[in-house]
Chains A and B, each alone.
Chain A
Amino acid sequence: MKVEGSYTFAAPRERIWALLNDPDVLARVTPGVKTLTPQGADAYKAKIELAVGPVKGAYDGTVRITDKTPPERMTLRVEGGGKPGTIRATGELRLEEQDGRTVVNYTGDAQITGLIAGIGHRLIGGVAKQMAGEFFKAVEKELRPR
């Protein structure tokens, strides 16, 4: 299943790159993340609780950041599983600076198995886009002073 889109931030590219590579920020902005524990460089163990309305699931997973070319591109590799199913996803983020703003283009590919894949197949595309939107809106919030 493929997801793609883009999001524009009113901030320079270095700032957005720094946010996306900060584990504390990632733990705050990634939907459903309960804990994000570093496991060496650019690798994390994650506990995620995702709720889509009444459908709630807990997942254990790993997140790795690879193919980094600061501040232009990076690839996120996520693997996780829980009772509702398993997911293996790869997302490529490309950051482009335009007049002091940063355009993040993302393309992702996910393989999902288990109950959510069988029963929820028709909803996965929409939910993935929704979560990508939540992720980027939360990153945007990080830009504002506390």
Chain B
Amino acid sequence: MPKREPYRNRIEILQGTLDMLILRTLQWGPQHGHGIGQALRSLSDDALRIEHGSLYPALHRLENQGWLASDWRPSEANRRAKYYRLTTSGKRQLAREHSKWHEMVRTISRVMRPAEG
């Protein structure tokens, strides 16, 4: 029997939001996969830990969509790394997702905290 994962006090990423978060982290400039993962972790005060098994597929998916572009540059580890950056259409996509997200948060909040008379 495989072991059950112990319950961890972390937030499961809602389906579809990972893409938005990645686009968001790249707003500050080009970054490689490791950096993006780390940025997500520190920005969320360690609450978000992205599985590498999800991160890299997502990066490639976004690149194929044309929202990200990439190039190889030397990294801090004396080794070339693949740096991703936002493209123009990527910026537009981020804006779209951002407003969609706001809309959703507002809606959910309305449902969860109804006005009390």
Are A and B bound to each other?
A: no
Q: Which residues of B contact A (CB under 8 A)?
A: none
Q: Which residues of A contact B (CB under 8 A)?
A: none
